[in-house]
Structure 1
Amino acid sequence: MPASSHHYRRTVLLLWLAAAVLLGLTWWHVFALVSQSRAKELANAERDLANLTRVSQEHANRTFRGADQVIRFIQSRYLELGNTLDLKALTLQGVIDAEIFPQVGVIDAMGIYTLSNQPITGKLDLSDREHFKVHVTSTSDALFVSQPVLGRATGKWSIQLTRRINRPNGDFAGVVVVSVDPGYFTRFYKELRLGQRGMMALYGLDGVARALNVGSREEFGRQANNSPVFARIAAGEEEGHYTARSVVDNVDQMVHFRKLPGYSLMIAAGLDTQSVLGNHNAAKEALWLQAAIVSMLVLALATALTRHLRQIGTEMNTRQRAQRQIEERNAQLNAIFDLSPDGFVSFDNKKRVNYISPAFRQMTGMGNETLEGVDENDFSIWLAWRCATSTPFLGVAALRADLAGGKPDPRVLIELNQRGKRVLQLGLRSSKSSSVSQILYLRDVTHEAEVDQMKSEFLATAAHELRTPMASILGYAEVLLNEEFNAATQHEFLNTIYVQSKLMANILNELLDLARIEARRDRDFRYTRVDLQMLVTDLAHTYPVPAGRSGLELTLPEQPLYLMADSGKLRQTLLNVISNAFKYSPHGDPVELKAWIKSTPNRAPGVCIEITDHGIGMSPAQLARVGERFYRADTSGKIPGTGLGMSIVKEIVALHHGTIEIDSAPGLGTTVRLCLPTYATLQDSVDQDGPSRSKLDHAIQDTRPAALS
């Protein structure tokens, strides 16, 4: 055999061996990317489902709490007024929200539907209904949520929420029933847009769907007892997820569930697995096609394989980096406000005060003052003297006149001019008792009024702030879609869209920071010993000073200053204040930072950091609003910002037990002074030759700092 032939076969063998190794590496790499893509899609879908069930849980909780408040109110009023209770009038007055609760009524002890806010035709017997029978056999007045039923009064599907009515002696007096349209839930679920085969449902733990959305289809009362979710909840799980074939439409789904605390109900959300993996399958097919092309190229020309694999690797890395940059963040805020106990004053049969409750004393700040024995006129003068002029108290006699004029429960609002702003709701009820002629009762509604006003103002402001950049984004995007432009103009429009999108992202990120700080307080903080000089120096070197401006001017003591603080949060706080100082001194004036130890006799030591600019400054009215969300001293729109920076600073400093002082004057600049507590004085922890490690380690501990007094 010629040597050349032997050499050829050996070369071919080596070439095919090399090609086989390269093909094996190529396919192994593709399979790894496919697995990674699948895991990522599933993780994103699970995160979205968890957020959707959380939103739906809050929606259901608010609905049931609202219904329960109506039930308890009617329960109390029915015991007082019996069949004279006018539910239709309460609906017209807005006490009952007819849009959410279309029918509200009372079933008497015999099962007859006696009262309703809707017309009733004939004698309607509901004694065979589950939501009536369950209260007959039990003395508990717990809230019951029925399966969807076809209402006999309305002829429509509804979910019945009921409570037992007990007379004072414990006898069964009937049932208060509030009907909730299950479509109220399914319409909300449709807005979540889970896709053509997505599912969102409100299930009872009995396995019956109260409201179910599958794609665009609505169902009520669907049985799903054999779904694995009920076995998991029975085993004690409050929340979880799984993948299984749906018992509703026999589709493979990813499902996330949450049990509603306090109710025998749960929320379940599902996404079609094939839809979830749609992008993954498309990417998988593309990857397999690319691998096949690479394989053919390897077989045709082995020497070109390395370059092609490098291109594939580069392309995949670029795609992964792009995916990581597009991740979304979601958050939701919810608050529960507790009402303080009612206060009351009772009057004897001669209209003289005979008892004042402790809650009334606390609300009005009367202390140990004695009013027992005072007649109602003198009492009215005493209370009116404590009211603000904007909400005068007209007297107990005026309330009694309203009661005599046909008002079943006359109430007025007053605002006290002592002990800060406090809004009270007053009502009067008469009595036929020989010892009590009437009772004046009070309820503190200050928190409710302030919360409603804060919510309205915050939502209006946030919507306004987000609408401005969104208008620019939509406008320029619409122009780009409908018109042809040269490359330079397109780049200009895209840059505007990018800048406005970045502004929206900044607003949302800072809102999320505020929401996280308010919700978790300092549980995300990591308090360690922080070298202030090192932190400030690093900050001064890394801060992007605007073009044409001099850097941050530092004045720091020679001896070290140590704080017990969260280093990242402290850096964020200083960055926000420094950024404001540069923005609001646009004519190139210097920005200065000073730090010193604050030592006062009989007080804990602290460290003060002062940032000063010589810019536009603020008026006293503007200064008073610093820290309000979305408030900005400059309203011209020429200085960029979200108006949330100082709100974040205020929250972080408060959680460090620190204080903020701001001095400012129009045209003279602004000084922001942050004082934070520390555990050791410099005299105790620093020698002339430098800090003593043993003393410093003993004096400064890795714990939350004490308050700076």
Structure 2
Amino acid sequence: MRPRPTRFALPLATAVVLALGILLLGTLELLQSYKEAAGRGEENARNLADVLAEQTERTFQAVDFTLLGIRDALTAATSMPENDDRFRETLKERLKALPYVRALYVIGPDGFIAHDTDYPSTPRVSLADRPYFKAHQQDPALGMHVEQPLRSRSVGVWFVSFSRRINRPDGSFGGIVVAAVEPRYFERFYGGLSVGEDGFIALLLRNGTLLARSPASEEAIGKSFAAVEPLNTHLSRSPQGIFWGASPIDGMTRVIGYRALDTVPAVVNVGLARQTVLRPWREHAIVVSISAAILLGLTGALIALVQKSRRREQAEQARLSRAQRLEGLGRIAGGIAHDLGNTIRIMHSTFRLLRPSLADRPDALSLVKDADQTLKGATAMIERLLAFARRQELRPEITVIDGRIEGFASILRQAAGPRIALDLRLSAMGHAARLDPVQLEATLLNLVLNARDAMPDGGTITVETTGIDRPSDPGGRRAYNADRRWVQITVTDTGIGMPPAVLERAFDPFFTTKGQGNGLGLSQVLGFVQQSAGDVELESREGRGTIVRLLFPVMMPDEQVDGRSGSETARSGELHTQPEAALREIPSHGSGPDPIGPKRHRG
């Protein structure tokens, strides 16, 4: 075999070097952006821990100042009777300035409450067995004491005791003054701060006892986490810092910033979920990866064309003169420019020409169909991303909902397939909405295809319309206009439904539980409906099917300036070519691109 000339090996070597360079630069960029994203997350956790530690420090100092004032007042008034009305009013006034304190009370040396802001509802029981009472009774030099969370014997809620000793004039034990701080205050305060999805904020004593946590964890309050970082080793090395670790409560990996308080033996922890911290990096990584793939593909195609052209040039050199070779190079250059401009069209044409000749070879024909479908999927993915971002160009018109759906029913039945019944219950009573009717048809087609995939053994898909005064919103999450009527389109299937974890992320772009598809179907539905001033509600239970509600504001008669043309268009039942084209791409055996994001769980 003749060795390949060195001059023809140069483009291949150049391509390899270029490809390695692209991969190296892409890897370096991803590493650098990863470090930057992680660094930003660590800085955010550290800064938030510092701010919360300072705020908590001031809160505890305010409690201590109040305890000192009460103690001094009691020391000066040695003959004050128990439950003195004027003194109790003074305690209540001090309590108003401390929203994080549930009650202020004084325990006498006998262990019974002598003064209390809850009087007379507090039962008269001895508190001499409480750890904070014993601590002051046994140690006269003890300053402000913070005890681990306890259950209140009067109201049954968790509280953290902040207490100081009261000395008699002769220095003997005269009781203690106590502020009952509610952990729920800190949980509510922390809950109002933005720590991202799955983030947490926790307040612990230095001995590891959990005082408060957001999100709240009732069973964890009062438990000791002394063997968990940062209390185990990090805190002994530095009073503040950051580290990556898994939570002992939910096992999730987070970047955790911590800071110990100066005046109180407590520590503030702030945890940001790894997935939240790295979300910007993942988005950047997708862009970098796609860009690198495009560059590598173009480089490979260019080198392949150059190699082909050079081999053709070598064959011509044996019998053509210098002029002929120059002429050949000119034709080659023109061919390269033409080929690059028509690559995609050539691929589509090739696939169409191959299909008839591969009719007796189903495996090869399936590969050709899959390759051709992949090219079409690129354009569909771009359109679906635009829909989720609500930047697609719509052509809204006044559309009578029932008429449009009735005209599109035949295609919906064809999409559902022979094993699934499509039940139409159109009772919107002529209500019209201003929306893009073509996109409405595409949305319904998406939902029917997704419902079909959720019923592998057959079933029923119900498409129902109705006019309502106000959408149901049991969670209080949305502020609907109560003065406007709404038209509701409900798509219900009797499929296998979705588990809560899948339902939670159903509208996320690129999220799918199917083995194929791009996971943009529900994202497209959500983007179109919201861009049309409407909303989407999704309900699903495993084994009981899924319900999707599309809500659109009804156009009032005085708003329907172009209502006649829109109504006539809707009643005519004319079908746009886009849904029909989408229907022609429906696979006959459940294969093809994912028409809607999250796939129902199949058990």
Task: Considering Cα pairs closer than 8 Å and 6+ residues apart, tell me whether 1 or 2 has the greater RCO.
Answer: 2
Using the size of structure 1 for normalisation, the TM-score is: 0.40
Using the size of structure 2 for normalisation, the TM-score is: 0.47
